[in-house]
Amino acid sequence: MVTLGGAAWQCLCASDADEKVSLTHQAARDLAFGKLAVDGQEIPQPIRMPGRPPRPELVDPAVVPLRKIGTVEGRAALIHALAHIEFSAINLAWDAVYRFTGLPHEYYADWTRVADEEASHFTLLRGHLRELGYDYGSFPAHNGLWEMAEKTAHDPLVRMALVPRVLEARGLDVTPGMINRLRQSGDERAAQILETIFRDEIGHVAIGTRWYTYLCEQRNIDREETFERLVREYVEGRGARKIERQAREQAGFSERELHFIESGLGA
């Protein structure tokens, strides 16, 4: 029987966006119908850049141009940036499946579902991008999410702490504002897509919290103290800021963690 790790590796290696999405949906179905073995995962290969199309061009985040959302091009640039995040999130979810062995079956089911939903998000955003006269690859993008995957490849606890609970959780803070701005600009379809993504992403961050907490308990270490230590070690501070408290609470953040983030001490 083909292993889930093998299917995850195939999804990671796929360079065509449509192929990556198709393989992801197929792997999720195969796991649901018992066609993929979770046990007997092979030893993962060293982390490398996952397959991706030749465009978008990857550039430093500082040089990604800002465009006004009131124009079609500006809205398209925003939708493109979000589509690239979702494309990267497919790879992040599959890497969480592929890279870390010996965890409960529920862990692999959770992250396979995340990959499946991220692929659906990418498809929704790309479809709307095409309606605006653009496509995935029309604008430059950056590689910040995958760079954190590389930094956390050595330990699932560190990965769970910093990718879903820091980088992806930041999306919970900014998405409601983007929804409002898109609606005000007259792009109701984009606003509706982001509402769907926002609901799903709360669940994705909650999955990160679930497995981060599990790993802390397995190692008998304090979850909150460890989170603060890892954020200080790996993440550049952003200063005091407003967060989407309700969404983060639903995703499993404690009051101490929320205060830590709001104060600008780390995440």
CB 209 within 8 A of CB 248: no
How far, in Å, CA of 128 to CA of 85, rounded?
15
What's the pLDDT score for residue 266?
Answer: 55
What's the pLDDT score for residue 241?
Answer: 76
How far, in Å, CA of 7 to CA of 245, rounded?
36
State pLDDT tens for residues 94-135.
999 999 999 999 999 999 999 999 999 999 999 999 999 999
Is residue 264's pLDDT more than 80?
A: no
Average pLDDT over residues 155-168: 97
Domain map of the chain by residue range? 4-47+69-262
Which residues lie below 8 Å from residue 97, measured CB to CB, with a gap of 6+?
A: 4, 5, 8, 108, 111, 112, 115
**What tokens were used for 163?**
């990718």
Mean pLDDT computed over every residue of the chain = 93
State pLDDT tens for residues 2-53.
899 999 999 999 999 999 999 999 999 999 999 999 976 677 888 888 999 9
What's the pLDDT score for residue 240?
Answer: 67
Lowest mean pLDDT among 32-36, 58-62, 68-72: 58-62
What's the pLDDT score for residue 41?
Answer: 66
How far, in Å, CA of 245 to CA of 260, rounded?
12
What is the amino acid identity at position 207?
I
What's the pLDDT score for residue 236?
Answer: 78
Is residue 161's pLDDT more than 60?
A: yes
Average pLDDT over residues 241-254: 94
Q: How confident is the model at residue 145 (pLDDT cuts 50, 70, 90)?
A: confident
Q: Residue 243 — left, alpha, or beta (φ > 0 → left; ψ -120 to 50 → alpha)? A: beta
Q: How confident is the model at residue 265 (pLDDT cuts 50, 70, 90)?
A: low
